[in-house]
Amino acid sequence: MFGKTALSKVHSPLQLNVGFLLKENPGYSRNLPLDEPNLAIAEDLNVQGLTGSITLTRTPQGLYAQGQLNGRVATECDLCLTPVEQKVTSRFAEMYYYPPDETPEDGLPIPDDMNVDFAPVVREDMLLSVPLRVKCRPDCKGLCPNCGKNWNEGPCNCQTEEGDSRFSVLKKLLDDSSAN
């Protein structure tokens, strides 16, 4: 009825069989440390050096899960496209309800097979922890818009135009008015 009798990893470290916890009295708690050198949480998120823990606490409604996980993801600088390793964090607290038919509309059910997958919650938190603008370094100079040379490696031989060509008519008017 409650699945396996010991906490076990089903397919990934973030997918756990929690059946035995539902047999415990409310208040019972179990801390699950995680230390994974490389973990593909989803197709779009591969985390290096994933560490942290998930604490599961039995409640009258099911299980309360609290987690704090840290890791690193490979991304690239928004300015020069250099590969960058970015720290990511997931801090979550979720209520998982059992039995599933007593789950509130916005709640998370514990499936009948007792295998809870924490990957969707962790993925969401980790993706949200990546800054909107990733820079390889604070003073990144970016790429030349003409030739694509990385200006962090030195200047290119492109001629730079001053100003925006769309404003050349205004510049001419300004120059003409200055001459008069």
pLDDT in tens, 38-86: 988 888 888 999 999 999 999 999 999 999 999 999 999 999 999 999 9
Structure tokens at 11: 């397919």
Q: How far apart are CA 24 and CA 31, in angstroms?
A: 14
Q: How far apart are CA 72 and CA 53, in angstroms?
A: 16
Task: Judge whether residue 10 has pLDDT over 70.
Answer: no
Q: Which residue has the higher pLDDT, 9 or 15?
A: 15
Q: How far apart are CA 170 and CA 160, in angstroms?
A: 19
Q: Where does residue 56 rank: exposed (0-12), middle (13-18), buried (19+ CB within 10 A)?
A: buried
